[in-house]
């Protein structure tokens, strides 16, 4: 395949990936569209943006982290009250060690959240100072958590689902590379554009270098993504994929990078998403099944996402 590439094609140097690499470093983008890059040589705190980490974290992990931080802070202040002495907390119902600990823990939780039921109160200036400082930390913590909740809730997302595989399908009198995408939420994305790049290694001056070639599509922009959209790249004489067969595709490592951007009307902002397909994720001689149909009363159109990855093999 490397020898069959059209040498008149110009490599795209704007991908952000370098041309030189000694070994195969895997795919350029993960299926979720994240660059497959691991950063080293920095300290642990330098290497992590906590804001980006907390915004991109899954909802389950984020809620678990917030609860864990809340619990640990309360345990920390509970231990401080225990060190000072439970006798410096007025209104405590004394009991065994566990009961005393729970009394101090619940006082800490009430102070941290500024609920303050009033049954237990600090005695002495030092204990009052600790309670005041805890209330201050509690206010800051909830302000940060509230800001993160809002940022996660309001973050623009594309909500676009891609087909698991790309296909080499019959197209007119030849073949074409096809992949499918659709918006799976009740949002409207308008002015949506797509760009395809072929990433492949070629021999140049006695060494293997990364080359990136743009793959032209029959349609690269639509007004509104209301149904599914099948992206079609004709494999003709102008295509870098011209002349390959199924065996070439199996034995030649390459990657199809997909870049999609559009305007979300609710967010009133541009949304961007990416994905990629390796050569072994491309199915030869297959066609996508149509994933939409009219409803029983023919009043509306049904978009069935259980069919987004379904294809028929053969002619």
Q: In this structure, is the dihedral angle defined by the CA atoms of residues 57, 59, 62 and 68, taken in order, positive or negative?
A: negative
Q: How many residues does the chain have?
A: 315
Q: What is the pLDDT of residue 22?
A: 46
Are 75 and 105 spatial neighbours (Cβ–Cβ below 8 Å)?
Answer: yes
Between CA 282 and CA 82 the distance in angstroms is: 63
Q: What is the pLDDT of residue 278?
A: 93
Residues contacting 182, CB < 8 A, separation 6+: 160, 161, 225, 227, 228, 229, 291, 303, 305, 308
Are 100 and 84 spatial neighbours (Cβ–Cβ below 8 Å)?
Answer: no
Q: What is the pLDDT of residue 252?
A: 85
Between CA 208 and CA 302 the distance in angstroms is: 48
All structural domains of the chain with their residue ranges: 2-38+158-313, 50-154
Helix residue ranges per DSSP H, the chain = 50-56, 59-84, 97-112, 125-154, 246-251
Six-digit token string for 115: 């609920």
Are 181 and 228 spatial neighbours (Cβ–Cβ below 8 Å)?
Answer: yes
Are 244 and 128 spatial neighbours (Cβ–Cβ below 8 Å)?
Answer: no
Residue ranges in the chain whose pLDDT is less than 50: 2-3, 22
CATH H-level, domain 2-38+158-313: superfamily: G protein-activated inward rectifier potassium channel 1 (2.60.40.1400)
Residue that has been written with the tokens 């305007």 in this structure? 263
Q: What is the pLDDT of residue 266?
A: 86
Q: What is the pLDDT of residue 7?
A: 55
- Condensed to tens digits (0 to 9), the pLDDT of residues 98-127 reads 999 999 999 999 999 988 788 888 898 999
Residues contacting 195, CB < 8 A, separation 6+: 214, 220, 258, 259, 260
Record: fold of 50-154:
Helix Hairpins (1.10.287)
Predicted TM-score (pTM) of the model is 0.81
Rounded to 10°, the helix 59-84/125-154 angle is: 180
Residue 241's region, left for phi above 0, alpha for psi from -120 to 50, else beta, is alpha
- Condensed to tens digits (0 to 9), the pLDDT of residues 181-224 reads 999 988 889 999 999 999 888 777 777 778 889 999 999 999 99
Question: Is 205 in a helix, a strand, or coil?
Answer: coil
CB atoms within 10 A of CB 277: 24
Between CA 4 and CA 241 the distance in angstroms is: 8
């Amino acid at each position: 395949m490397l020898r069959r590439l059209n040498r008149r094609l110009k490599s795209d140097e704007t991908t952000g990936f370098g041309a030189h690499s000694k070994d195969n470093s895997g795919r350029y983008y993960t299926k979720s569209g994240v660059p497959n890059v691991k950063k080293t040589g920095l300290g642990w705190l330098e290497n992590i943006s906590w804001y980006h980490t907390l915004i991109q974290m899954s909802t389950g992990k984020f809620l678990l982290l917030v609860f864990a931080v809340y619990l640990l802070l309360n345990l920390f202040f509970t231990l401080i009250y225990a060190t000072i002495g439970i006798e410096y907390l007025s209104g405590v119902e004394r009991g065994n060690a566990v009961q005393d600990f729970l009394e101090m823990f619940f006082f800490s939780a009430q102070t941290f959240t500024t609920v303050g039921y009033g049954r237990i109160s600090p005695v002495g200036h030092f204990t009052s100072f600790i309670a005041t400082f805890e209330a201050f930390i509690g206010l800051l913590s909830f302000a940060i958590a509230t800001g993160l909740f809002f940022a996660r809730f309001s973050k623009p997302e594309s909500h676009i689902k891609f087909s698991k595989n790309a296909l080499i399908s019959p197209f007119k009198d030849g073949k074409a590379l096809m992949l499918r995408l659709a918006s799976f939420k009740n949002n409207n994305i308008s002015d949506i554009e797509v760009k395809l790049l072929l990433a492949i290694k070629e021999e140049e001056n006695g060494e293997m270098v990364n080359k990136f070639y743009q793959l032209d599509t029959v349609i690269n922009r639509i007004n509104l993504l209301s149904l599914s959209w099948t992206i079609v790249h004709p494999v003709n004489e102008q295509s870098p994929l011209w002349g390959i067969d199924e065996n070439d595709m199996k034995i030649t490592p390459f990657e199809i990078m997909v870049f999609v951007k559009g305007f979300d009307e609710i967010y009133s902002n541009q949304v961007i998403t990416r994905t990629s397909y390796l050569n072994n994720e491309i199915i030869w001689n297959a066609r996508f099944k149509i994933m939409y149909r009219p409803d029983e009363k023919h009043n509306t159109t049904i978009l069935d996402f259980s069919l987004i990855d379904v294809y028929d093999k053969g002619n």
